Chains A and B, each alone.
Chain A
């Protein structure tokens, strides 16, 4: 259960808190509470210095992006081409990766912190308009952010000549309408331009070069930006004194599934292990009903799965990458010994197959194939051939070796992240990742489900495509 009834899922604990520091206040989303608890001090500190200094401070903090890719924010801001204006900020509040729950909490519980973060980013990187894109299905977050924006405009924190300075910027609330792929930054920009939310062909690799309306655009995640007020107020040195050198600060992690106390935790970056998170008293307190841990997804539905073998790894990007997965959006999903592995893989594959935007053939067709074949395996209608077919179809989305975890029981060595892919974005590979993980680590559960190979000719896959 949550520590605070008004912040469902959030468990505070006795740890340093940067982005959730106000959550114990029931009225944390109001301007009055925000100002009474140090709010907008970061903005004032930033405005007292030249923009380039503030940018340098953020660069020195090594604040890593929290949207999935973990790219350093200060470096990203520096990728805008010299002398090209206007530049935009687009806030990615589209949170919809399976397992992920943190940005919504930050928008509902501390919208002013996010707004202050946006203002600091715009000031530091010379961005003259900000669009705050919130997932369509989040009515309360939209309401809280709209209210906070209205309050902040009235108080002179947003708009013309902010706090009497030369700094002027508008923040415009925008909201989506239900499409997971829109979280991909170029799809987000397409959607904001009033188009279908389909990712753009790369290059350019970063919208920092060519983004919204063809202009340099920084896309940052809600949690990333929510760290900026603290950094601007306390400085990069204070920030890097928390966590590790490569992963400083804190990070929001949601742990869900078969644990005794699922929750959203702000953890010290880089040092907390998966064992701490799943078994620790201040975190999830072990597996429900005294069951055994079977497997867990360490970084959102797109991440290759881990086994109990990997429990002692810290929640740190490079180490987890070397061990065959990724941290992604900070979401751990735990499966206990009662879990039917093929069905669990199917729920994820179904999600990504359904969310394909249809732009690339390997994703559009391959995702649906994977889903259909897996469905018939789960229903007991599959054959041995289907298991090979799954890997073959997956290989057309991700050619070459796929990352996976080590297993002492199976005598498997880890294959590090990332994979190669034939698609524009990660939705296609993400449909394959759970299939590959489940088949690699739990093949016997599939074998016992399927009939022996029926013949040399494969059973044709029916009903390909058609459905979006």
Chain B
């Protein structure tokens, strides 16, 4: 499956409608594609290009700027081990080595069974809980090499399936703006006066 399924296509249209310009939905739609397929396929990029009104080249040109998008098959679990200052000071490299040893791959690689991709990552905004890591962007704090081994074991055995969805899924709750409550995305060039709660000044300009 590479094009959006019916549910996701509806979600894609809902997302696009929130922005005054459809191109703003580009990154959220790339996430949606990655959620559906585990990575961003060429076919998905072509469809996104059509949906937001840009060329496929722009989609990959923009998408490849951002580190979270993967353009090739990726492990069901992406393990990101933080290697920045606070974690480095407290043994981040031991975590990475433990993961490499346990998985039998180097950072950057994917296991042959397609279960795990391992990366060294950058500061995860959890520096007081160093050293830390994320599995599919879910945290593990104050980790030890033994803890890494145990985590991999648990993931492999499916013991964390409830907490950690497959790679590509971020928030499991989406925003929905109810039709009767939303103000709607207005074309910025079609607005020429102040919003209703801002009094128009003497010159008629609004403050």
Residues of A within 8 A of B (CB): 8-9, 50-52, 82-83, 85-86, 95-101, 103-104, 123, 126, 128-129, 135-140, 142-143, 146-147, 149-150, 153-154, 156, 158-160, 165-170, 172-180, 191-197, 213-215, 254-258, 262-264, 297, 301, 331, 333, 335, 339, 343-344, 347-348, 351, 354-355, 357
Given A169-B183, A193-B24, A194-B27, verify A137-B124 contact (CB < 8 Å): yes
B66 interface neighbour in A129, A177, A354, Cβ under 8 Å: A177
A136 interface neighbour in B66, B181, B195, Cβ under 8 Å: B66
| Cα–Cα distance between A74 and B54 once the two chains are bound (Å) | 38
Task: Say whether A9 contacts B126, CB under 8 Å.
Answer: yes
Q: Which residue of B lies closest to A357 (CB)?
A: B65
Task: Say whether B129 contacts A9, CB under 8 Å.
Answer: yes
| Cα–Cα distance between A194 and B61 once the two chains are bound (Å) | 11
Map CB proximity to A onto B125-169 as digits: 1 under 8 Å, 0 otherwise: 111111000101111010000000000000000000000000001
| Cα–Cα distance between A98 and B127 once the two chains are bound (Å) | 8
- Which residue of B84, B138, B184, B206 has the most chain A CB atoms within 10 A of its CB atom? B84
| Minimum C-beta distance from A144 to chain B (A) | 8
State which of B4-12, B109-117, B170-178 sits at the interface with chain A.
Answer: B170-178
Chain B interface, >50% SS class = loop
| Cα–Cα distance between A100 and B125 once the two chains are bound (Å) | 6
Task: Say whether A178 contacts B68, CB under 8 Å.
Answer: yes
The 26 listed contacts between A and B (C-beta, < 8 Å) are A8-B126, A9-B141, A83-B203, A85-B206, A101-B125, A123-B197, A128-B186, A129-B20, A135-B125, A136-B137, A137-B68, A137-B124, A139-B171, A160-B182, A168-B183, A169-B183, A172-B18, A175-B171, A177-B68, A179-B67, A194-B26, A194-B27, A197-B65, A215-B188, A257-B130, A297-B85
Task: Say whether A150 contacts B128, CB under 8 Å.
Answer: no
| Minimum C-beta distance from A45 to chain B (A) | 15
Task: Say whether A95 contacts B183, CB under 8 Å.
Answer: no
Q: Which residues of A contact B30 (CB under 8 A)?
A: 177
Apart from A136-B66, A137-B80, A347-B84, list 16 A-B contacts with CB within 8 A.
A9-B128, A98-B85, A98-B123, A126-B197, A129-B20, A136-B68, A150-B175, A154-B181, A166-B197, A172-B177, A175-B31, A179-B66, A193-B24, A257-B90, A262-B130, A354-B122
Task: Say whether A331 contacts B127, CB under 8 Å.
Answer: yes
Asked if B62 is at the interface of the complex by the 8 Å CB criterion, the answer is yes
Asked if B21 is at the interface of the complex by the 8 Å CB criterion, the answer is yes
Given A126-B198, A159-B183, verify A175-B86 contact (CB < 8 Å): no
| Cα–Cα distance between A6 and B144 once the two chains are bound (Å) | 20
Task: Say whether B195 contacts A126, CB under 8 Å.
Answer: yes
Task: Say whether B199 contacts A139, CB under 8 Å.
Answer: no
Task: Say whether A8 contacts B138, CB under 8 Å.
Answer: no
Task: Say whether A166 contacts B90, CB under 8 Å.
Answer: no
Task: Say whether A178 contacts B173, CB under 8 Å.
Answer: no
Q: Which residues of A contact B73 (CB under 8 A)?
A: none
Asked if B71 is at the interface of the complex by the 8 Å CB criterion, the answer is no
Given A197-B66, A257-B89, verify A180-B193 contact (CB < 8 Å): no
Residues of B within 8 A of A (CB): 18-21, 23-28, 30-31, 52, 54, 61-63, 65-69, 80, 83-86, 88-90, 122-130, 134, 136-139, 141, 169-178, 180-186, 188, 191-199, 203, 205-207
Q: Which residues of B contact A166 (CB under 8 A)?
A: 196-197
Q: Which residue of A lies closest to B126 (CB)?
A: A101
Q: Which residues of B contact A354 (CB under 8 A)?
A: 122
Task: Say whether B85 contacts A194, CB under 8 Å.
Answer: no
| Cα–Cα distance between A259 and B130 once the two chains are bound (Å) | 11
| Cα–Cα distance between A227 and B182 once the two chains are bound (Å) | 26
Task: Say whether A101 contacts B26, CB under 8 Å.
Answer: no
Q: Which residues of B contact A101 (CB under 8 A)?
A: 125-129
| Cα–Cα distance between A355 and B121 once the two chains are bound (Å) | 12
Q: Which residues of A contact B169 (CB under 8 A)?
A: 139
Task: Say whether A86 contacts B188, CB under 8 Å.
Answer: yes
| Cα–Cα distance between A146 and B188 once the two chains are bound (Å) | 25
Q: Which residues of A contact B141 (CB under 8 A)?
A: 8-9
Q: Which residues of B contact A86 (CB under 8 A)?
A: 186, 188, 191, 195
| Minimum C-beta distance from B86 to chain A (A) | 4
Q: Which residues of A contact B26 (CB under 8 A)?
A: 194
Q: Which residue of B lies closest to A134 (CB)?
A: B171
| Cα–Cα distance between A264 and B169 once the two chains are bound (Å) | 28
| Cα–Cα distance between A85 and B188 once the two chains are bound (Å) | 8
Task: Say whether A147 contacts B21, CB under 8 Å.
Answer: no
Task: Say whether B172 contacts A143, CB under 8 Å.
Answer: yes
Task: Say whether A351 contacts B127, CB under 8 Å.
Answer: no
Q: Which residue of A lies closest to B30 (CB)?
A: A177
Q: Which residues of A contact B66 (CB under 8 A)?
A: 136, 176-179, 197
Q: Which residue of B lies closest to A177 (CB)?
A: B66
| Cα–Cα distance between A193 and B178 once the two chains are bound (Å) | 24
Task: Say whether B62 contacts A195, CB under 8 Å.
Answer: yes
Q: Which residues of B contact A8 (CB under 8 A)?
A: 126, 129, 139, 141
Q: Which residues of B contact A104 (CB under 8 A)?
A: 125-126
| Minimum C-beta distance from A286 to chain B (A) | 16
Q: Which residues of A contact B62 (CB under 8 A)?
A: 194-196
